[in-house]
Amino acid sequence: MTRIRLAIAAAALLATASSTVHSSARADDQDFALIERGRYVATAADCVACHSLPDGKPYAGGSALQTPFGTLVAPNITPDRETGIGNWTEEDLRRTLREGIGRGGKRLYPAMPYPAYTRMTDDDIRALWTYLRTLEPVSNAVEANQLPFPFNIRLLMAGWNLLNFEPEAFRPDPRKPAEWNRGAYLVQALGHCGTCHTPKTMLGADDTDRALQGANLQAWYAPPITADKRQGIGGWTADQLAAYLKTGANHQSLASGPMAEEIRNSSSKMTDADLKAIATYLLDRTPPDGKAPTALAADDGRMRTGGAVYTDTCMACHGGDGKGQTFLFPTLAGSGVVQADDPTTLIRLVLDGSRAAATNDRPTGPAMPPLGWRLNDADVAAVVTYIRNSWSNAAPPVSADDVAKVRRALAQAN
């Protein structure tokens, strides 16, 4: 640790020696600032999420990631020479983030979110590199590529890149204020929100025409985070959105699953100014066109069955009016998760339950009990159809087949 700090101090001195002579105390301050900035970049980019096991050493290599291509494991990125990136240069890291090129020139799969990180600024990459050099080197060999043939042939990735990926710099919009542009940078580059929230093309690339309009992550659905009022977050104020990203809870919603993890590792540790910038940008984007479906009539058979299941199994927590209780039981009335076209998250929460995000501000996440053992596919279909079409909500009905599909995906994932 000390050796590395000294080496960095020396490098910083060399870099500045040509212009002015600095006292070593001053250089140390500069280093410290750069390392802290790098730590913040790593947090906002959530590098630790994939590059660590839940109970393993941070950055020493990750758990298996299920992707449309098959299973991938994120490698060790500590400064260990044999098994990590101890032999790398800053330029090597820049190539990984900007161009998706890894160790030995290999093309990386876009499960590593370089399609977002490609927009990172040079200054942020330099700070991130400086910070990564200060990590404790951990010897941990990771077999990254566990994909079935033919996807294990990385040359195919060259083809993917030609078709789908262009290195791209972040382009601020000069007509917009600095806060908006900061938000755009955080969403598009560091925060890589689109990795989960943007639908993918057949080849697994972001469908940029439908940016942030919601995407299926196998056993979860990341709902639209557009300014659409029904399926998106257009009904939230900037403060409400910032509160959700900071604490995992707001007047409407509690974060679960991958979003709870994102908040715990990343956005809960971002500055209030950055969260406000994200909110400003997201809520200012033009929502996609789309007509709301007509809600099912209250005397539809599915609504009557679903209403009965709701009274028996859900009402105690979520209330007869679907309003729940702020910070404890999410409000189902007006919820984007409830009304999203793709009901995967909704169904899985009923089947499998979930525990909401625990953050410093809200240390105990309330839990929703699993109910899949008590309710059959038809009951679950009825109750989610009911909440999708009550209290001014409106969304297409869900079938027992839809529920069976999510049950199968959960059985595979668990």
Using CB under 6 A as the binding rule, the residues of this chain from 17 to 36 that contact ligand HEC are none
Q: Closest approach of Cβ 250 to ligand HEC, in Å?
A: 9
409 binds ligand HEC, rule: CB under 6 A? no
Residue 365-384 contact track with ligand HEC, rule CB under 6 A, x = bound: -xxxx-x-----------x-
Among 8, 60, 72, 184, binds ligand HEC (CB under 6 A): 72
Between residue 107 and residue 166, which ones bind ligand HEC under the rule CB under 6 A?
A: 108-109, 111-113, 117, 128, 144-145
Q: For residue 50, which of 41, 60, 40 has the smallest C-alpha distance?
A: 60
193 binds ligand HEC, rule: CB under 6 A? yes
Q: For residue 70, which of 120, 133, 121, 145 has the smallest C-alpha distance?
A: 145
φ, ψ of residue 30 to 5 degrees: the values are -65, -45
Q: Closest approach of Cβ 242 to ligand HEC, in Å?
A: 10
Bond prior to 150 in cis (omega within 30° of 0): yes
Phi-psi region of 322 (alpha: psi -120 to 50; beta: other; left: phi over 0): left
For ligand HEC, which is the closer residue by CB, 303 or 387?
A: 387
Q: Among all chains, which residue has been given the structure tokens 């309003």?
A: 323
Q: Closest approach of Cβ 352 to ligand HEC, in Å?
A: 10
Residue 38-67 contact track with ligand HEC, rule CB under 6 A, x = bound: -------xxx-xxx-------------x--
Among 131, 160, 281, 329, binds ligand HEC (CB under 6 A): 329
For ligand HEC, which is the closer residue by CB, 96 or 118?
A: 96
Q: Closest approach of Cβ 362 to ligand HEC, in Å?
A: 11
347 binds ligand HEC, rule: CB under 6 A? no
Query: Largest alpha-carbon pair distance within the chain?
Result: 81
Sign of the alpha-carbon torsion through 40, 44, 48, 54: positive
Q: Cα separation of 6 and 235, whole Å?
A: 51
Q: Which residues of 95-107 are buried (b: 16+ CB within 10 A; e: fewer)?
A: bbbbbbbbeeeeb
